[in-house]
A and B are shown apart, each in its own frame.
Chain A
């Protein structure tokens, strides 16, 4: 059973469009992290959210952590081709990082 449900699994959009990726769980996490991974590389941290209801912005990326600390979303505004990659949410479960299924994002020019 997947602790973290991530959707959608695949997203193909045009440059300039907006998109949202969701990460949901029935479990409460002490923190939730978002990573981006490019082919041939390991995942790289984008953001960590810790407080329920927290909103963090990183340029065109907006991250939200649900009030109950069970869900999170990543919203990208005006997507660019450079945003293409695999996006992963991950929850800290004890001292282990548990990953969602991932979202493959493809931004076409």
Chain B
């Protein structure tokens, strides 16, 4: 399965600023996803990062707040813009397997964001 490197692993940011999270995969993957997770809770899908086109956002998430880039098949970034304390969470990127989506998705280790 793919190996994901996600950076930074954690950050403490001032409200009103923006943070860009990077997700690097060691192989080419078709689908990349960004999730948000409160500690000890489940994952909520933010958006699907599409290579060569705009990301597809889930209900409740908008591009102005969470702009996403996907310049190639191995890399994506998620920016959390104009942060407020409510954005404090764990953000994870994930990739689907190339050949058969019935197999497991691989996740990065996550970025723990605290907004003060």
Q: What is A's interface to B at a CB cutoff of 8 Å? A: 6, 30-31, 33, 35, 39-45, 48, 50, 86, 88, 90, 92, 95-102, 104
Contacts and interface: CB of A to CB of B under 8 A. Distances in A.
A6 B41 CA distance: 12
Contact of A88 (B33, B43, B94, B108): B43
B109 A97 contact: no
Interface of B: 4, 9, 31, 33, 39-45, 48, 92, 94, 96, 101-110, 112
B105 to A, nearest CB: 5
Interface residues of B, dominant DSSP: loop
B104 A33 contact: yes
Contacts of B41: 101-102
B45 A98 contact: yes
Contacts, number: 63
Contact of B101 (A41, A44, A95, A100): A95
Contacts of B39: 39
Contacts of B4: 42
Contacts of A95: 31, 48, 96, 101
A42 B92 contact: yes
B40 A86 contact: yes
Contacts of B31: 95
